[in-house]
Amino acid sequence: MTCGIKDMKILFIILLCLIVVLVRRVDSETYYEIRKKWEFISPMLIDSIYIKDLNSDDLKEILIVGKNRNPHLSDGLYLLDWNGNLTWKKEIDNILDVYVSDIDYDQEFEIIVSCGKVRGCTHWGKIYIINLDGDTIFEYPKMGAGYNIPLLDIVTIDLDNNNREEIIGSVGKGVYAMDDMYGKFMWKWNAEKHIDTIIIKDVEGDGIPDVVAIAPNEIFIIAYNGTEKWSYMAPNEIIDVEIGSIHQIGKNDIVIALPSEIRILDVSGNLWRRIEINSTINSILIKDINDDSHNEIVVGTENGLYIFYMDKNETILYRTPSPINKFIVSKLESGGEKYVIFSIDDGIYAINSIGIAKYIYSPSKIGLQDEICDLYINDIDSNGVSDILIISRNKISVIEPAYMDIEEINEKKSRANQYYMRAYFYLNLEDYENAIRFAKMALSLYEEINYTEGMEKCNELIRKINIKTVTTTSTTTTSTTTSTTKPEEEKYENSFIGMIILILIVIFIIYKDYKRKSREDERISYKFGEG
């Protein structure tokens, strides 16, 4: 008899463990919600944005460069404050590029706008300098003085160390430098190839900036005075170029991304190393991800993210189901570790230095149905926590992440689900005191991870418990309550009740079998006694 009861207890414990395992399997999704702080819908297509503290108040402003869908209408600039409110807007015809800098070193930023058109042999271009109030304080050429060659890609830099920045721009087959009085070009460098992009960088580390001009299959290093230092011809198309220290701390290298290969040049243009990649390369970055004073090469490809630790000859690959076109490396909170952050079809990923996805955000859960065109990470309100700015075709959405890793999120979600089911169990037993206690415990955990669906179903359950507490249960009330149960709640409620019924049936069968065997044992003992 004692042995039979012990066996039943063991079976009952096993069945309870099974309940826990099944509960923990429910809602094991790794995505979790994040809070949308604000969004701004642009009347025009968003071409680019600039994030800077323009007025030195420790709060960031966002400058939007908008392109009109109708090529016959003006483009525009939109300046937002840190909270997404429109400060001013300005219409400008045919914007080609925009740059933000304190060009005269007076502690106030200016907005430099290049605009114009190139049609065959006919071209026109203008440069506008705009202050923080949206007023034009300078234009070149002056109104009525004709037109200039359009600058397609512009940057500003103080080339001659006189505390005023010159404007450098590509002009199709060449690079021109406008003097710091913005009245004429101080030098012109011409090439036989179209220049797509220019980068300003002190390549040799001598304190003097150089101009790096990038053509479709060649790069040129141009000195501050417009003379060409050297060039490197690539065997095929140049996808991306980064400059930074790779094989020797303190000395720069030029890293060139080709379709399926990385080439690393020294500051004189000599090929130092080649890295072949078994995928199509989309973009590269040079960053010290693990803060060990050695830069890594991070590569976004068609099948995933590669991190090359050049000092250790190690490579980490994080595979993705979709191409990675652009990514950024940033800390998500002050004092935290760095992450490689990128977007693909199913969400926004943050990968740590050893290739583990620590945070995964699902855009659809915060109403981001549009295709993500670009990402920015910036603490725009200076609260010590970085915001994620998601750029779609005509919308900026600013979201605030929930900073817990996936394991912690899943663990809290699992515990909350258990509390939620126990609350329903006690509600069905009409033990309203325990029902409300467990429902509130579940709600508290859902709130910690900002899980909206969980909070909604808990609030609905608490409402039901309160109705049961203050009213007399009747068939009509039960029917009404059942009709308002959400599909998500029904999934948990029905599965839980089904498991309980199944377990009770199993226990009943075991008990009946035990009683039958006990009676047989008694009859056998009686027969032995008669003998």
Same domain, 323 and 421: no
Domain that holds residue 408: 404-469
What per-residue confidence (pLDDT) applies to 18?
53
Quick one: 287 and 357 in the same domain? yes
**Domain boundary at 417, 446, 469, which?**
469
**pLDDT at residue 147, rounded to an integer:** 58
User: What ranges make up the beta strands (E) of 304-462?
Assistant: 304-309, 314-319, 327-331, 338-344, 347-351, 357-361, 374-378, 387-391, 395-400
The dihedral built from the CA positions of residue 160, 161, 167 and 172, taken in this order, carries a sign that is positive
In a domain, 388, yes or no: no
Buried b (16+ CB within 10 A) or exposed e, 443-453: bebbeebbbee
Task: Name, in order, each residue with C-beta under 8 angstroms of 441's C-beta and a sequence gap of 6 or more.
Answer: 416, 419
Report, in angstroms and rounded to the nearest whole number, the Rg of the chain calculated over CA atoms.
33
Q: Say if residues 289 and 353 touch (Cβ distance below 8 Å).
A: yes
Domain match, 355 and 414 both? no
The closest of 421, 412, 419, 422 to 446, measured between CA atoms, is: 412
Distance CA 365, CA 509 (A): 45
Per-residue pLDDT at 31: 41
Structure tokens at 272: 């130092």
Co-location of 424 and 308 in the same domain: no
Residue 426 in any domain: the answer is: yes
Assess whether 249 and 334 both reside in one domain.
Answer: yes
Is the residue at 78 inside a domain?
Answer: no
Cβ atoms within 10 Å, residue 366: 16
Kindly state whether residue 148 falls inside one of the protein's structural domains: no
Q: How far is Cα of residue 67 from the mean position of the Cα atoms in its chain?
A: 24
Residue 74 in any domain: the answer is no
In a domain, 287, yes or no: yes
Tell me: do 414 and 343 sit in the same domain: no
Looking at the structure, tell me whether residues 270 and 336 fall in a common domain: yes
Q: Would 449 be classed as within a structural domain? A: yes
Domain finish residue from 469, 494, 526: 469
Domain termination site, one of 361, 377, 392: 361
Residue 39 vs residues 44, 81, 193, 435: alpha-carbon distances, Å: 15, 12, 41, 39
Residue with tokens 């900002």: 450
Is residue 83 within 8 A of residue 60, CB to CB? The reply is no
Identify the CATH number of the domain in which residue 339 sits.
Answer: 2.130.10.10
Shared domain for 249 and 328, answered yes or no, is yes
Question: Among residues 106, 103, 97, 76, which one has the least CA distance to residue 182?
Answer: 103
Same domain, 341 and 424: no
* Helices and strands per DSSP (H, E), number in the chain: 6, 32
Positions in the chain whose pLDDT score sits under 70: 1-34, 118-122, 143-147, 346, 359-369, 401-406, 450, 452, 471-504, 506, 508, 511, 514-515, 517-531
Do residues 254 and 352 both lie within one domain?
Answer: yes
Identify the CA nearest to 367 among candidates 130, 147, 95, 39. Answer: 39
Domain count, the chain: 2
Question: In the prediction, which pLDDT does 282 show?
Answer: 95
Tell me which residue has tokens 């209408």. 73
* pLDDT at 167 (0 to 100): 95
Would you say residue 325 lies in a domain?
yes
Q: Please tell me whether residues 428 and 350 are part of one structural domain.
A: no
355 and 415 in a common domain: no
Does pTM surpass 0.85? Answer: no
| Terminal Cα distance for the chain, rounded | 23
